[in-house]
Amino acid sequence: MINIPLAERLRPKSLDQYIGQKHVVGENAVLRKVIESGKIPSFILWGPPGVGKTTLASIIAAKLDRPFHKLSAINSGVKDVREAIQKAKKQRFFSQPNPILFIDEIHRFSKSQQDSLLGAVEQGVVTLIGATTENPSFEVISALLSRCQVYVLEHLKKEELQELLTHALEKDEYLKALDIDVQETEALFRHSNGDARKLLNILEIVVNAETGDKVVINDANVAERLQQNIALYDKQGELHYDIISAFIKSIRGSDPNGAVYWLARMVEGGEDVKFIARRLIISAAEDIGLANPNALLLANNCFQAVNVIGFPESRIILSQTAVYLATSPKSNSTYKAIGEAQALVRKTGNLPVPLHLRNAPTGLMKNLGYGKEYKYSHSYEGNFEQQSYLPKEIEKRKLYTPQANRQEEGILKRLKVWWKGIYNY
């Protein structure tokens, strides 16, 4: 029994054992009434990790005595969905209710994967229960969402975490046989962040680390044990930001090995594929920039592709993009340029737009000099004629400085020809 994780040993089997979410499944709550009626519609459970979405789906299936098919969007494709639907069809009889198809992390399904569910849901072949940590309005296709109720689950409150802790110490056969002294719970609850599974995982780490006859749980012990078990990946907490930081810094430092390692840590930890892809877009613009303009194009295509493909194949696309960015030449010249420009704006305020750069849609504006003496670049040789494009007070200010890479060396040559008073240094 001890080989089974504590969170699994204590997984509730009924609504009465279920801790938290009273607004949804408490006495007289809306979903509880639906469950007790025996006629549940397809619905989606939306909430943060570790609040009991999967457990609740299992409890419902058991209470209603329905066949239960479970898929994870991380490692299931259209083929798996179709196979589950075919199994459900074989289990349907005229006198029996629909089997339940539970899809964990349904937001990771691509549009084509979600489309493959539509027919079965519409025809009543299955009752769909989806679980998601992301807003279903954005992540679930409208045709599927319109056929589902959405129930919002919340982080466990402090008193609910306390209830769960007490339940674990009193009911778990292994824990109640130990001499456990809970002196403080502040660190335990803070690091749990309202996540029931995380609370039980931390409790198990602290208990297993003790070698003496007595187990003392206090804030210092919890902090020490968690530091020793830093390999755990928490996609909602501090380590989430540490790992994405290491990932981006590996790309910035041109280390493809570091980049794919930290990428693997995020993939294995269940990180949101779109979060990773968004950071790749930012890195392409911030760290590579004009040294390789194709990097931003590839990163943007990566974001579009992972939205269509979903896991597990998206890991290949992310890996290709991460390695490409890591091995690209680097420049942060445009990142620095916008930073300097913003600092200048904050320092100088709302300087007036020079008259020659203003539009003149009316006669009055023309009479006031709007657009006067503006030089239309395409009317001049080489499509260029020197004129000021900045307010008079800062017209000689240089904000963009090309860096030493092949692409920007070519840019610098052009700028030296065009802007002799600014770039001939």
Q: What SS3 string covers 321-376? A: HHHHHHCCCCCCHHHHHHHHHHHHHHHHCCCCCCHHHCCCCCHHHHHCCCCCCCCC
Q: What domain range is 413 assigned to?
A: 352-423
Tokens of 87: 């199994």
Final residue before a domain boundary, out of 273, 308, 326:
326
Same domain, 304 and 386: no
pLDDT over 80 (residue 268): no
* CATH number of the domain encompassing residue 55: 3.40.50.300
Assess whether 242 and 223 both reside in one domain: no
Mean pLDDT of 89-105: 79
Q: Examine residue 334 and state whether it is found in any structural domain, yes or no.
A: no
The rounded distance, in Å, linking the Cα atoms of 264 and 253 is: 18
Q: What percent of the chain has pLDDT over 90?
A: 27
Residue 62 within a domain: yes
146 and 163 share a domain? no
Percentages (nearest 5) of helix, strand, coil residues in the chain: 55, 10, 35
Q: Residue 320: give its domain's CATH number.
A: 1.20.272.10
- Do 111 and 144 lie in one domain? The reply is yes
* High-pLDDT (> 70) share of the chain, %: 95
Taking the CA atoms of residue 201, residue 204, residue 205 and residue 211 in that order, the dihedral angle to the nearest 10 degrees is 180
Contact between 295 and 284 (Cβ < 8 Å): yes
Domain boundary among 96, 121, 152: 152
Three-class SS state of 101: strand
The mean pLDDT of 340-359, rounded to a whole number, is 85
Q: Model-level pTM?
A: 0.55
Q: Tell me: do 75 and 146 sit in the same domain.
A: yes
Least confident of 45-54, 193-202, 358-367: 358-367
281 within some domain: yes
pLDDT for 293-313, tens place per residue? 999 999 999 999 988 877 778
Q: Is residue 344 situated within a structural domain? A: no
Residue 301 is assigned to a structural domain of this protein:
yes
Tell me if 10 is assigned to some domain. Answer: no
198 shares a domain with 147: no
Residues 90 and 168 grouped into a single domain: no
The pLDDT value recorded for residue 231 is: 47
Q: Is residue 248 a contact partner of residue 255, using CB atoms and an 8 Å limit?
A: no
One-letter amino acid of 327? T
Is residue 247 located within the same domain as residue 309?
A: yes
* Res 93: pLDDT: 64
Based on the domain organization, do 166 and 201 belong to the same domain?
yes
Number of compact structural domains in the chain: 4
d(CA 357, CA 392): 12
Between 1-5, 88-92, 251-255, 327-331, the lowest mean confidence (pLDDT) is in: 1-5
- Rounded to an integer, the average pLDDT of 61-65 is 89
Helices 273-283 and 314-326 pack at an angle, to 10 degrees, of 20
In a domain, 44, yes or no: yes
| Planar angle of CA 361, 366, 371, nearest 5 degrees | 80
**Are 139 and 166 contained in the same domain?**
no
Q: Please report the pLDDT score of residue 239 as a whole number.
A: 59
Q: What is the mean pLDDT of residues 318-322?
A: 95
- Mean pLDDT calculated for residue range 15-19: 90
| pLDDT on residue 177 | 86
Q: Give me the residue label for tokens 């299992």.
A: 58
Mean pLDDT of all residues belonging to the chain: 86
Both 148 and 222 in one domain: the answer is no
pLDDT of residue 2: 61
Q: Is residue 331 part of a domain?
A: no
The reply to whether 198 and 268 lie within a common domain is: no
Residue with tokens 């930081």: 245
User: What number of other Cβ atoms are within 10 A of residue 54's Cβ?
Assistant: 19
- CA distances from residue 408 to 127, 329, 404, 421 in whole angstroms, order as listed: 58, 11, 7, 19
Domain boundary among 228, 249, 279: 228
Tokens representing 49 are 């990790």
pLDDT value of residue 354: 85
Residue 107 has pLDDT above 50, yes or no: yes
Whether the pLDDT of residue 49 is over 60: the answer is yes
DSSP state of 146: T
Average pLDDT over residues 264-276: 83
What DSSP character marks residue 77? -
Is residue 176 predicted with pLDDT exceeding 70?
yes
> What's the pLDDT at 403?
87
